[in-house]
Amino acid sequence: MKKKMTLLALEKDFSGKIREIIALANSLVDLYNVEIFFLNSSNDSIIINSKIKVSIYNPQVLECRKFYTDLFKDSDVVISTDEEFSKYVIKYAKCKTILWAHKERNFVKDKLLSKYDLIVVPNKYLKNHYLGCNDNVIIINDAIELPKDKKLASGDNLIFIGRLTKDKKIENLIDIFAKVQKEIKTNLIIIGVGEERKNLEDYLKKSKIPNVYFKGLLNKSEMENELLESSLYVTCAEKDTSNLSMLEAMSYGVPVVAFSDILDDTSFIVDDINGYLIENRDEDIMYERIKTVLTDREKRENLSLCAKEKSLEFDIYSLKIEWIKIL
């Protein structure tokens, strides 16, 4: 008889983390009875295996005890992706509990975090961070579902995917783009939501920079279309804790240009082979690298092929064995 796995995907929007959660569920559905609980009903952005039980809950029920007793009933393992719900997981789940963490912890909740049976993180930086509150912290790399279509991106747009927050430095990205488009006709596509959107739109109006498009949240097919019309994934973000969006772009043959300090581990980007890593947050060099990709067709094709090849190492179906070991 299959064991039951309960996944709590309680983010308010379908972020890269949500896409990874569903990718994991899809890969394990033949081995486990998988149930996923969402707060958001806009799940048309993801393809979910029909064998997976999906439930959508209104945020108002999250304070209700019965919700959690029913939620964890008969579960053999509960995987939560948000420590904000730790008090409910620890109190009501009478089974193995795992926190799958993609961001820095809330120190106020250290006592609760110490009670998880295991904490899973995607890199060394977060492992060291969480070892301060729990001795059982392991690394399992971020992973993606590879596109079924082997077609490579062939457009000329620049693209960014992520939350619109100050630490993403999107205003800096817009400034670099403005410099690029004075010489080369292209567009900047920004996919995501966040509290900085209005400020960024106001900045665009004030600076009168054309051809920048905010797309908000897209479903899977829309996201795929935007990636296939892109030439380069560009980010000026400060220290990040996840490379999911970059890996997703690479899986479509879209190379990444980023500052070298963006992640604790940037080994998936090999400079001048499958993308570019810019030292010292030098925006002038970033501008030059973008211009190279947009003007040198042979270079771009080589970067694209190598980006696609590297992404294969992060296929969720290849990494699921790491999850099976701990479940």
**Rg of the chain (C-alpha set):** 20
Query: Quick one: DSSP state of residue 60?
Result: G
Q: How far apart are CA 233 and CA 189, in angstroms?
A: 10
Q: What is the chain's pLDDT, residue by residue, as a tens digit (327 residues)?
A: 899 999 988 765 556 777 888 889 999 999 999 998 877 655 444 568 889 988 877 666 666 777 788 888 899 999 998 887 888 899 999 999 999 998 888 776 788 999 999 999 998 889 999 998 999 999 999 888 899 888 899 999 999 999 899 999 999 999 999 999 999 999 999 999 999 999 999 999 999 999 999 999 888 889 999 999 999 999 999 878 788 899 999 999 999 999 999 987 889 999 999 999 999 999 999 999 999 999 999 999 999 999 999 999 999 888 889 999 999
What is the DSSP secondary-structure string of 174-193? HHHHHHHHTTS---EEEE--
Query: pTM of the entire structure?
Result: 0.85
Query: Three-state SS for 274?
Result: coil
Domains and CATH numbers, the chain: 3-140 (3.40.50.2000), 157-313 (3.40.50.2000)
- If you search the block for the tokens 């709590």, which residue do you land on? 8
Please state, in angstroms and rounded to a whole number, the distance separating the CA atoms of residues 320 and 298.
35
pLDDT of residue 63: 66
The pLDDT assigned to 6 comes to 93
Helices (runs of H) and strands (runs of E) counted in the chain: 12, 13
pLDDT given at position 247:
95
Per-residue model confidence (pLDDT) at position 5: 94
Amino acid letter, 270: V
